[in-house]
Amino acid sequence: MLFTRTDLKDVWLLEASPIRDERGSFARTFCVDEMEARGLEHCFVQHSLSRSAAKHTLRGLHFQRAPHEEVKVVSCLNGAIWDVAVDLRPQSPTYCRWTAAELSADNMRQLYIPKGFAHGFLSLTEGAVVGYLISTRYHPASAAGIRYDDPALAIDWPAAPAVMSEKDRNWPLLADITRHA
C-alpha cells in the first residue's frame, strides 16, 4: 500500500497496490502493521456501508462530538465519490481548511480521516457504495454536523447536490456553533 499525506497533514490518502493477472486483480486494503508503523489508528470497532442511488447525492458534513470522536477510513466500493475532510480542531494551524480526494471502485483509494474532522462526500456516479472503517461506536446523541456550503469553509464541490437529507440541509454554520460554544 502507498500512504501519502494530504495538504492537511493528518489526513492520509491510502492507495492499494493491486496485483493483476489474467483473472483480474487482488489488493490488500488494510494492514495493522502498516498503520502502526505510521502511528495511525488501526482498531476499527465498526464497519459501515452506505449506498447512494442518484449521482450527485451529498452526505455530510458529519462528526461525533467529544468524547465520541471518530477516526474514519473511507473507501468507495462501487462508482465514485468526491470525498471531503474538514479540520475542526480549534488549535490546528489548518483549522477550517478542507481537503478532498476522488475515491472510486477503480482507483481503490481510501481517505484516512482523524478525530476532530468533519466528513462528507458528493457521489459522482449513480449507485455509489461507500465503506467506512470507524474507530468509535456510533453514538447518536453525539452526532453533529456543519453545512456543506458553509462560507467559512468555501468547499469547492464539483457539482451542486441533487439529493441530500433534510438533516444535512439544516446543519448549523460553523460560526453558529463557535458562537454558542
Active site residues: 62, 132
Q: Give the Å distances, CA to CA, from 174 to 10, 52, 73, 95, 171.
A: 21, 26, 24, 11, 9
Helix or strand run (H / E) with residue 80: strand 80-87
* Contact between 65 and ligand T46 per CB under 6 A: no
Binding ligand T46 (rule: CB under 6 A), the pick from 10, 56, 60, 73 is 60
Q: Give the Å distances, CA to CA, from 73 to 6, 27, 89, 160, 176.
A: 14, 16, 18, 25, 28
Site string for ligand T46, 93-132 (x = CB under 6 A): --------------------------xxx----------x
Query: Using CA atoms, how far apart are residues 2 and 21, in angstroms rounded to an integer?
Result: 20
Residue 108 or 121: which CB sits closer to ligand T46?
A: 121
Helix or strand run (H / E) with residue 138: none
- The least distance separating ligand T46 from the CB of residue 99, rounded to whole angstroms, comes to 15
Q: Which residues pair with 86 in a beta bridge?
A: 98, 118
**How big is the CA angle at 133 (ends 108 and 2), to the nearest 5 degrees?**
40
User: What residues from 129 to 148 belong to the interface with ligand T46 (CB under 6 A)?
Assistant: 132, 138
- The least distance separating ligand T46 from the CB of residue 46, rounded to whole angstroms, comes to 6
- The least distance separating ligand T46 from the CB of residue 13, rounded to whole angstroms, comes to 17
Count of chain residues binding ligand T46 (CB under 6 A): 11
* Contact between 68 and ligand T46 per CB under 6 A: no
Interface residues toward ligand T46, by CB under 6 A: 48, 50, 59-60, 62, 119-121, 132, 138, 165
